[in-house]
Amino acid sequence: MAFQSSVNPAQLTQLGQANLAGDTRALYLKLFSGEMFKGFQYNTIARDLIMKRTIKNGKSLQFIYTGRTKSEFHTPGNSILGDTNNAPPVAEKTITIDDLLISSAFVYELDEVLAHYDLRSEISRKIGYALAEKYDRLAFRAIARGARAASPITATGYVEPGGTQIRVGSTTNDSDAYVPANLVAAFYDAAAAMDEKGVSSDGRVAVLNPRQYYELIQAVGTNGLVNRDVQGTALQSGQGIIEIAGIKIYKSMNIPFLGKYGTAYGGTTGVTAPGNTGSFVGETLEDASTAQTGINNDYGTAAEVGAKSCGLIFQKEAAGMVEAIGPQVQVTSGDVSVIYQGDVMLGRLACGCDYLNPAAAVELYVGATAPSAF
């Protein structure tokens, strides 16, 4: 019998074929990559950059403002019974807890049995991202509101400094927001303004959108604007490495930016959309005033926040976040799981945010007119 040098393909046992017909790879495992389903994972940064307080057995937290007083010469023989104008003046700010913020998903038990990947951890991660995104967005809107506000201390002769708005560039084009020289000038202006208003230099930060951040990185070495001791991959991480005038810079897709969240394409921005941006990139600002269900602090309507804000510079005292329930994940079990043959995975958070010291908040904007207070 002659030896066959090759095997007839028709004689091969096709282990990936269903019922000896069709695609020879139909039954092979389709490997799962969690990275494909994570989407955009926004860095949550606001929680560490503003004042955070936790409360129990209450719906709101009171913050007390104490204004300045004056010095005066003593007249011999006169009793010393405090300032003649009853200074210092005192005011208050109350931050109320908004309604319970939730994100949830139902996980069917049979799906978990059939799935070859960790379904619960992936869903849990997404729930955490949803809560974190909302947390940052509300905090940054509160800071923008504070940058447009006067101080709560308004007693005659004792008025405290309020917020600051600084124009970026000198044209009416939105593209001014991306010019490194414009941003550098705005940063030094903001630092000087905060110095003049008596704001501590400790804990000053800025939050820009990613394209602004990377424009500044590309300018390193040409104008000496940032930390020359940090270069390479560390410089590009976006975790507060760049520093201008003592202000650390972070990047986020959750700041109000030209009427959107994080980025805006087309028009006079000079930025072309990269394509396939999906439903969540460049989302339009939503209404988040007290007229909206669940909101007890005023974060402004979309129109009030406006279409010209393009960055925030602030110190830790600019805003406060009050938490009654920190970020938590709850999962059903027991009889409930038996009845529905699955579990509800729930992420929850009860918090509220508002500006505290307006003098510690600076809003960057483009165009001829600064956004109005609200």
- Position 271 pLDDT exceeds 60: yes
- Position 39 pLDDT exceeds 50: no
Maximum C-alpha span of the chain? 133
Mean pLDDT along residues 355-363:
97
The span from the CA of 149 to the CA of 159, in Å, is: 13
The more confident residue out of 198 and 335 is: 198
Residue 40's pLDDT band, with cuts at 50, 70 and 90, is: very low
**pLDDT value for 83:** 76
**E-strand stretches of the chain:** 51-54, 60-66, 90-96, 101-108, 164-167, 205-208, 239-244, 247-251, 256-257, 260-261, 309-314, 319-331, 342-355, 361-365
Residue 68's pLDDT band, with cuts at 50, 70 and 90, is: confident
236-250, 277-291, 325-339, 344-358: range with lowest mean pLDDT: 236-250
Residue 237's pLDDT band, with cuts at 50, 70 and 90, is: low
Residue 35's pLDDT band, with cuts at 50, 70 and 90, is: very low
Residue 186's pLDDT band, with cuts at 50, 70 and 90, is: very high
Task: Give pTM, 2 decimals.
Answer: 0.84
- Position 234 pLDDT exceeds 70: no
Mean pLDDT along residues 314-329:
92
- Position 70 pLDDT exceeds 90: no
Domain 37-67+89-365 has CATH 3.90.1690: yes
The span from the CA of 186 to the CA of 5, in Å, is: 77
